[in-house]
Structure 1
Amino acid sequence: MADWQPFPHDDSTFRYEGNALQEAWDELHRGDRAPYPDRGWVQSALDDTPGAAPGSFDGDLDGLAVGVQDAWRAFHAGRFGEAVSRAADCGLLAHAPANKAAGIYATYLEADESRQHKVFTEAVKRAELAIDALPEDPN
């Protein structure tokens, strides 16, 4: 993803550092109604589906929540490759920012059809794993 094309516009309006992401969350996710990925959300998701955690998970719920939040931050700022990379570090809990980033990137920024196909195929694989592991997840 390091070789993905950059978002061609100024992203300063869409950077949500610190508490700004949580403050803007309801407006940003009015359409998909994704819950804010805080510690409680991570705990609940892992209580329901322990296998959704990354293989490297050491029990740090706050750290994992920040990782998912950072994947969303990258997505909202148009740093699509970074969003997918950060999401990969969070296991299936961050499938939504990864797949939204991949879909937008492949559709609008990647000109090479074979690379588009690869990005979409990887997103489909992530989505299928998430559907199996997180059947109640709206995304």
Structure 2
Amino acid sequence: MHLWTPFPYPGAYRFDTASLPDHWARLHRGDAEPLPTEPDVLQAWALFHNGDFQQANEAGLALGAAGTTVANKATCIYANYLEPREEARLLLLKTAASRAEAQQQQAPALAGAWYWQAYALGRYSQGISVAKALAQGLGVRVKTALETTLQLAPHHADGHLALATFHAEVIDKVGSLIGSMTYGARKDTGLALYQQAMALNPDAPTTLGEYANGLLMLEGESAAPQALSLQERCAAFEPLDAMERLYVEAARQALQT
């Protein structure tokens, strides 16, 4: 395995197994991940929240089934925000998706296994183009995995957000008619899912930023003022961990350009 690009703000976050539980509910309001009871698993999560993504991935994989979710999240977030080589980025996402699918076989009631498969395949689809991904049948797999996530964990805010984005991106790429008839994508469903994500996790930068992007895809220029307001709130957010820092920095850069 090649060395991953380091987190660009080293030392900014210093969670450990003693301090992380105090912040767990706030940090995992989006993905509904339960607080681990095993110290080694909690340590792997501390590495993730500090931005030590490669170490978190390796620690998670070394723990077997108990560490698969943290390994997959570390891989997905790293691939999405920090891996500079497109081929390597897509390979990492495919690897995480495959691990999550295998995890589903062992623990079919684990919402995280379905969510991280969907996240990895969704980001992979964006990398190869949504239209090409739909033609390959990836859209159906993403939608099914996200719907399963929400069946298992109705309070999974990021699941609502991701499924809303599925509806928005399909409609944006192929139009409302084909999107509805072929992929089951609907504008009203997408907007309702974004609203549900906002109700569950209203102050998270990911919720604000993804809702802004989704509004533009679903409503067009008429939603520009509301989308800009959401993006500005996202950019003004004070990150609590490495993942939030990467998202907020990306939002700030997008506003500047």
Task: Give me the TM-score of the superposition, normalised by structure 1.
Answer: 0.74
- Quickly say closer, same or farther: Cα 1:35–1:3, change in 2 above 3 A: same
2:17 aligned partner: 18
1:31 aligned partner: 30
8 A Cα contact 1:37 1:68, kept in partner: yes
8 A Cα contact 1:71 1:87, kept in partner: yes
2:5 aligned partner: 5
Structure 1: gaps of 5 or more residues: 39-64
Aligned residues, how many?
112
Structure 2: gaps of 5 or more residues: 113-257
Secondary structure, aligned partner of 1:9: coil
Does 2:125 match 1:126? Answer: no
Can you list the C-alpha shifts for 1:83-131, whole angstroms capped at 9, x where unaligned?
A: 1100011112222211111111111111111111221121012101111
Does 2:84 match 1:111? Answer: yes
Matching residue within 76, 79, 83 for 2:49: 76
8 A Cα contact 2:57 2:75, kept in partner: yes
Secondary structure, aligned partner of 2:111: coil
Which of these two proteins has the greater Rg computed from alpha carbons?
2
1:135 aligned partner: 108
Secondary structure, aligned partner of 1:70: helix
Secondary structure, aligned partner of 2:34: coil
* Residue type at the aligned position of 2:7: F
* Residue type at the aligned position of 1:130: Q
Cα distance between partner residues in 1 of 2:16 and 2:84: 30
Secondary structure, aligned partner of 1:16: coil
8 A Cα contact 1:81 1:101, kept in partner: yes
2:70 aligned partner: 97
- Quickly say closer, same or farther: Cα 1:102–1:31, change in 2 above 3 A: same
8 A Cα contact 1:7 1:79, kept in partner: yes
* Residue type at the aligned position of 1:108: Y
**Structure 1 residue runs of 4 or more that deviate by more than 3 Å after TM superposition:** none
Query: What is the identity percentage for the equivalent residue pairs of Structure 1 and Structure 2?
Result: 36
Cα distance between partner residues in 2 of 1:22 and 1:95: 19
RCO comparison, higher one (Cα < 8 Å, 6+): 1
